[in-house]
Amino acid sequence: MSICPKNKSSKGHRDQRRANWKMSVPSMGKCSKCGALVLPHRVCKACGTYNKKQVIKVED
């Protein structure tokens, strides 16, 4: 079964839906160890820590 839209949305209607994508600022968190700005669910690139655990080695 596939999705079957009842009415085709016009180009303007469709494009307007995608017009404001870049407006939202990506939600950033702070690393619990070094305090650097990190994306959620990502290893901190500054100190290599995720969930208060050392995950990757960071060269000094």
Question: Counting Cβ atoms within 10 Å, is residue 38 exposed (0-12), middle (13-18) or buried (19+)?
Answer: buried
Taking the complex as a whole, the smallest distance from the CB of residue 48 to Zn ion amounts, in Å, to 7
Taking the complex as a whole, the smallest distance from the CB of residue 44 to Zn ion amounts, in Å, to 3
Q: Which residues of this chain interact with Zn ion, rule CB under 5 A?
A: 31, 33-34, 36, 44, 46-47, 49
- For residue 2, give the amino acid letter: S
Taking the complex as a whole, the smallest distance from the CB of residue 50 to Zn ion amounts, in Å, to 9
Provide the pairing of β-strand 37-38 with 29-30: antiparallel
Nearer to Zn ion, 16 or 32 (CB): 32
